[in-house]
Structure 1
Amino acid sequence: MEAITGTSIGVTIGITIILMGFCAMMTGQAVANTWRSISQLLPYAILLGFTDRFLVFALFGGDLLSLSGFIFDTVILFAIATISFRIVRVNKMLSQYPWLYERVSPFGYRSREGVK
């Protein structure tokens, strides 16, 4: 695992998943709350990936220029941001338009029967 991430599993869990994962979750919520497109999450996830790589390097002596570590971290952060975005967007649609949509899952909604 250290060959892929460029650091230990503990640092990956602590910095990438917990600390930067919280930042990715808040980013996904902010993008969804302002009615922006989900495509805006990718540049934000890339910036969070750079920040994650720098923190791992500066605080724990990890590899700063680890391409596989950067890609691994960025994919995890993008997934967290996307899940957060989708949950907030579904809740927003259902709270603002309850007569038009109904929940089918935490990540999805559909048009109500008989609504045109």
Structure 2
Amino acid sequence: MGELLYPDVPGGLGAFLFFTIVLGVLGGIATGRAFASSWTSLVTLPFALLGMAAAVRFLHYALAGEDLSSVQYFVVSLVFVALGGFYGFRSKRTEQMCRQYPWLFAKAGPVAWSHRA
């Protein structure tokens, strides 16, 4: 499983956990929340998340000595950053909809709202 998510180099697991999971996911959440806060369409978010994933891969390259041109590990970084980004967007949008239109919507979970009966 390790070879699929991170390269088999010394410190590969630590770099994956810190750069991709901690910095990438938290950065994705912050980016998604920022896009939702400005009422920006969800269509524009993936472009920002692509840049965020590229930044995460650059951190792997610059600070952990990993290969920068690895498509496999870029896709892994992109998946984790995108999961965080879409979660952040949806959680903030749920918060906005329930606060902005309390007579229409009620919170139905951390990332969902429902119509009031």
TM over 0.5: yes
Matched, 1:28 2:29: no
After superposing on structure 2, the runs of 4+ consecutive aligned residues of structure 1 that deviate more than 6 Å are: none
Letter aligned with residue 103 of structure 2: W
Deviation of 1:3 (Å):
5.2
Could you say which residue in structure 2 is the equivalent of 1:96?
100
Specify every segment of 5 or more residues in structure 1 that has no aligned partner in the other structure, as ranges: none
Aligned residues: 113
Are the equivalent residues in 2 in contact too, given 1:24–1:78 (CA < 8 A)?
A: yes
Specify every segment of 5 or more residues in structure 2 that has no aligned partner in the other structure, as ranges: none
RMSD: 1.3
Could you say which residue in structure 2 is the equivalent of 1:82?
86
Following the alignment from structure 1 to structure 2, what is the Cα–Cα distance between the partners of residues 71 and 77? 10
Letter aligned with residue 33 of structure 2: Q
SS of match in other structure, 1:22: helix
Matched, 1:17 2:35: no
Could you say which residue in structure 1 is the equivalent of 2:6?
5
TM-score (normalizing by structure 2): 0.90
Matched, 1:60 2:64: yes
Are the equivalent residues in 2 in contact too, given 1:41–1:78 (CA < 8 A)?
A: no
